[in-house]
Structure 1
Amino acid sequence: MPKKQTYADLGDACATAHAMDVIGDRWSMVIARELLLGPRRFADLASAVVGITPAVLTSRLKALRNSGVVEQARLDDLGQTRVYRLTEWGQGLEDVMRSLGHWAQHSPGFPVDGSMTPDGVIVAMRTMAPYATMSEWGDGPVRMAIELHDERRPAAGVRRYALHWDEDLFELAEGADDAPATTTVAADSSAWAGVVFAGAPVGTIGIEGDRRAVERVAAAYATIA
């Protein structure tokens, strides 16, 4: 198979053109999205990137490694599990996704149906976070534990995240917050996306604790529509 020509090969020195050479192939940005919250095993990526084949995933990971976006590492566990993670430069793609997400919101062909992975929803919440403090939607900060599963992939289990949102801080990350959560959400990832991004009623998901906190978060994200 002949080598694919890059924009640089064609004499185009534009930085945006180079960016498309790096992450413009189908699946590349989706793989990066699934790595934004932390390292993942090949099997994790193969399950989360819906529709990709193992051969294509292997090819895309190799290309992303050669470009300096992704690197391999080993976890500090008994099995020394091999994982993939974004490089420091690759982490900068979160800013790119933020801009692309806001741009895509106004697409005349934006898909209104479909599903999202747990990491996909959380990355979307991070990149699309409204520029507002929680005080605009009620009193006090929000400390929320978010437990998401993907009904399409029951074997993948539950992923856990922590949201801390107050006057001066918005933090949404994988794992648990240092301070105890006042609210816990447990839901299918697509159902949670419906509440946050599509105005679905909060009664469609499982909530323990402060239900009002969930309503406040949903109200804040409604401003980006």
Structure 2
Amino acid sequence: MASRRSYGSYNDGCAAAHALDLIGERWTMIIVRELLLGPKRFTDIQRDVIGIGPTVLTQRLHDLEGHGIVRRRQLPAPARADVYELTEWGSGLESVNTALSLWAVESPALPIEADMSPDTVVLAMRAHARASSGAREGQRVLLSLTDSRLGDSEPVTYLAAVTEEATTIRRTLMPESADAEVSATTKDWKACVIGGAALEELPEIRVVGSAEAVRLLISATSLGGGTRAAG
């Protein structure tokens, strides 16, 4: 099968056109999105990117490696598993993902009711994260999200820090001290931070510790009632 011609081969020197040569294929930016918060195994990516087949995923990862956007490495013992992660240059695509999301929220065809992966919900929170004037002493929240698109998924844990200067959220694999711990499905948490639902309206969201810390996190990352999802 002949490879697709690049825009450069048509004497188009636009950098945006070249970017589309690198990441414009179907599924490519979705794979990148799922790697923005940290490395994943092939099976993890296939699980999180619902609808992609193993052959297509293999090809897209091969292309991303070839372009220097993704690299593959082996975790040390005892795991010894191969994972894919973004290179430093590839990590810069978070700002591209955010810009695309903020642009697309104006689309009348946006599937507002559709669910999102744990990383996608958190990326939406990061895109809208802001400082909190109410967090004078700073608040830390452990957020465990279970993918409600899948019946048997393990929760993914993130650590959020809310201060008067900024709000940050990152994926974490180790237990860390926090003022509050939250456990929720992606559907319920999306309803809270994107749909504007109050915590009290979602009794299946479990909060241990400071409820005020959780409310500060929601306030600092929420898109507001009725606002569409940017992920």
- TM above 0.5, one fold? yes
Residue aligning to 1:44:
44
- Segments of 5+ residues of structure 2 without an aligned counterpart are none
Q: Tell me if structure 2 keeps the 8 A contact 1:162–1:177.
A: no
- Segments of 5+ residues of structure 1 without an aligned counterpart are none
Pairwise CA distance, 1:9: 1.4
| Cα deviation digits, residues 113-159 of structure 1 (max 9, x gap) | 11111111112211232xx4211x56542210000111332433111
Residue aligning to 2:155:
158
CA distance in 2, matches of 1:180, 1:157: 21
Residue aligning to 1:201:
198
Residue aligning to 2:141:
144
Q: Aligned match of 2:131 in 133, 136, 143?
A: 133
Residue aligning to 2:114:
114
Which structure has more helix as a fraction of its residues?
1
Task: Indicate the SS of the match to 2:52.
Answer: coil
Task: Indicate the SS of the match to 1:213.
Answer: helix
TM-score (norm 2): 0.89
CA distance in 1, matches of 2:223, 2:149: 26
Pairwise CA distance, 1:178: 8.7
Task: Indicate the SS of the match to 1:172.
Answer: strand
Which one is further off, 212-221 or 171-180? 171-180
Residue aligning to 2:124:
124
AA at the equivalent of 2:190: A
Pairwise CA distance, 1:223: 5.3
After TM superposition, list the pairs within 5 Å mapping 1:167-182 onto structure 2: 167-175=164-172, 180-182=177-179
Task: Indicate the SS of the match to 2:152.
Answer: helix
Pairwise CA distance, 1:54: 0.7
| Cα deviation digits, residues 167-206 of structure 1 (max 9, x gap) | 1232211116896211111011121111111112213121
When the two structures are aligned, how many residues end up with a matched partner?
222
Pairwise CA distance, 1:4: 0.8
Q: CA RMSD in A?
A: 2.0
After TM superposition, list the pairs within 5 Å mapping 1:49-64 onto structure 2: 49-64=49-64
AA at the equivalent of 1:198: G
Which one is further off, 188-197 or 81-90? 188-197
Quote the sequence identity (%).
37
CA distance in 2, matches of 1:88, 1:71: 10
